């Protein structure tokens, strides 16, 4: 079981920006408009990832900068939409990408600190945002002038460095971002031509609405909003506490055993989500309605679930929100295995007709997922497995943002013991109860 203490967090990484430029596809490309699916439409917010690399004596900072700069310019040819800008289509007010070669931001910075002085890498310090070209999202700048992707290289005194990538979620889901990283790493290697190992498939019409749209299932996991195209996911205004909680491989194995005999699908993911859902239900206020239906949400890749299947290289967002539902009382105090089964049913119902029904619902109603908790899993995406010329990342983590009831799962450094890190953001009192139950309800707890 992971430790419960919080490490001290640096607030200032002592950065100096050495250079800032805008990179464009070379040679220039023909301008076009890129259709965005209903799934893309509701993901108009920024995702920031930090990739930490150890020092490599064969790759001094100047070489890394030049290799990466060249790779970015070349990768923008097949990924032309990255250098574009969001715009609203006139007729229906839908978002689309104007592939106008406006470019991506490329920053180079240095820190006065060594890599081992910035704190525990596994703990997503909000200050790590300083490493992710967050300056690209400028207050007061119109949507059509905002870069969709930015890169920042930050070099530390020890020779180690961080690659921060800031991108609008309309550009990639987790799988297509992993493919993008592999292509970028390939181009950064000396002597390679522009033939990519995994060329992107960018036709997002494969996930367009049926004509006419048909909603063939009830969708309690969604709620309608007046104008989804212009609504962005904003940080919570409530004061939130961050906690990094850890589950070891032994903890996960014990949760699988606890789920028997009531669950036939006790995967690592299912039991972890069920455990978090149970903690969430028990940590709510004491006067809650125990008979109220509680829902836990999580993303499911639909590339292989729709018919015909999407190509593995499909670039964009091919994930939909699955849900588990049960009463608050059953989640908190019922058989754990039944909670695991409720989680598993979410992915089980996500077959072709259900997925198409969700997409069509988005055309008719324009809305967002709703639930008690959304679990976003970076656990097994494999970003740290990508081999750059200077080696694999020591660690890859998301930048923490204060969004209540969104829980992040991500791996430990090097995949040590195959456990999982859990990042939770909740109000103080609710967090205290959540953390107490998180460890108390583990079968390995004494």
pLDDT tens by residue, 15-73:
999 999 999 998 889 999 999 999 999 999 999 999 999 999 999 999 999 999 999 99
Range list of β-strands (E), 248-318: 293-301
Structure confidence at residue 229 (pLDDT): 43
Alpha helix locations (H) across 149-222? 174-188
Query: Rounded to whole angstroms, how far apart are CA atoms 346 and 298?
Result: 8
- Span between the terminal Cα atoms of the chain, in Å: 11
Given a contact cutoff of 8 angstroms between Cβ atoms, the answer to whether 132 and 50 are in contact is: yes
Residue with tokens 């930048």: 399
Structure tokens at 150: 């930015």
Higher-scoring residue by pLDDT: 225, 2: 225
Strand partners, 87: 96
Rg from Cα positions in the chain: 22
Per-residue pLDDT reduced to its tens digit, 136-163: 455 667 878 899 999 999 999 999 999 9
**Who's near 174: CB < 8 A, 6+ residues apart?**
319, 378, 381
Query: Rounded to whole angstroms, how far apart are CA atoms 61 and 154?
Result: 9
**Who's near 92: CB < 8 A, 6+ residues apart?**
none
Walk me through the domains of the chain, giving residue ranges and CATH numbers.
Answer: 15-201 (3.30.559.10), 222-381+390-440 (3.30.559.10)
Per-residue pLDDT reduced to its tens digit, 174-186: 999 999 999 999 9
Q: Tell me the pTM.
A: 0.92
Strand partners, 413: none
- Mean pLDDT (whole number) for 244-259: 94
Active centre residues (catalytic): 169, 387
Query: Rounded to whole angstroms, how far apart are CA atoms 87 and 104?
Result: 16
Query: Rounded to whole angstroms, how far apart are CA atoms 31 and 142?
Result: 20
Query: Rounded to whole angstroms, how far apart are CA atoms 406 and 216?
Result: 28
From the centroid of its chain, how far is CA 18? 29
Q: What percent of the chain has pLDDT over 90?
A: 76
Given a contact cutoff of 8 angstroms between Cβ atoms, the answer to whether 194 and 74 are in contact is: yes
Query: Rounded to whole angstroms, how far apart are CA atoms 120 and 244?
Result: 11
């Amino acid at each position: 079981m992971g430790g419960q203490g919080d490490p001290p967090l640096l607030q200032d990484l002592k950065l100096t920006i050495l250079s800032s430029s805008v990179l464009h596809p070379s040679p220039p490309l023909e301008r076009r408009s890129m259709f965005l699916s209903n799934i893309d439409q509701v993901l108009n917010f920024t995702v920031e990832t930090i990739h930490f690399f150890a020092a490599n004596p064969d790759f001094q900072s100047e070489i890394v900068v030049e290799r990466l700069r060249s790779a970015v310019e070349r990768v923008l040819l097949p990924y032309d939409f990255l250098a574009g800008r969001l715009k609203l289509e006139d007729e229906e007010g839908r978002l689309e990408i104007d592939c106008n070669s406006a470019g991506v931001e490329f920053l180079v910075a240095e820190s006065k600190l060594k890599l081992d002085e910035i704190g525990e890498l596994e703990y997503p310090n909000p200050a790590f945002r300083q490493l992710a070209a967050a300056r690209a999202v400028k207050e007061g700048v119109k949507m059509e002038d905002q870069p969709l992707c930015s890169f920042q290289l930050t070099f530390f005194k020890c020779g180690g460095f961080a690659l921060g990538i800031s991108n609008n979620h309309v550009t990639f889901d987790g799988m297509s971002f992993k493919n993008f990283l592999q292509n970028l790493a390939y181009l950064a290697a000396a002597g390679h031509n522009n033939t990519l190992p995994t060329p992107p498939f960018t036709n997002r019409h494969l996930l367009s609405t049926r004509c006419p749209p048909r909603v063939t299932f009830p969708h309690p996991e969604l709620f309608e909003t007046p104008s989804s195209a212009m609504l962005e996911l904003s940080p919570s205004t409530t004061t939130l506490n961050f906690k990094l909680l850890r589950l070891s491989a032994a903890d996960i194995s014990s949760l699988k055993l606890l789920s028997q005999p009531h669950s036939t699908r006790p995967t690592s993911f299912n039991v972890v989500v069920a455990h978090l859902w149970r903690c969430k239900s028990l940590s709510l206020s004491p006067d809650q309605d125990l008979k109220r239906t509680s829902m836990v949400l999580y993303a499911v890749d639909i590339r292989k679930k729709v018919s015909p299947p999407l190509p593995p290289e499909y670039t964009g967002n091919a994930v939909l929100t699955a849900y588990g539902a049960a009463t608050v009382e059953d989640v908190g105090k019922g058989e754990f295995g039944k909670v695991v089964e409720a989680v598993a049913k979410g992915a089980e119902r996500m077959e072709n007709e259900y997925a198409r029904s969700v997409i069509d619902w988005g055309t008719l109603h324009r809305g967002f997922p709703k639930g008690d908790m959304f679990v976003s899993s970076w656990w097994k995406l494999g970003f740290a497995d990508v081999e750059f010329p200077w080696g694999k990342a020591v660690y890859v983590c998301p930048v923490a943002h204060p969004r209540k009831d969104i829980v992040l799962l991500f791996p430990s450094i090097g995949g040590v013991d195959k456990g999982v890190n859990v990042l939770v953001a909740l109000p103080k009192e609710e967090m205290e109860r959540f953390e107490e139950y998180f460890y108390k309800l583990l079968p390995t707890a004494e």
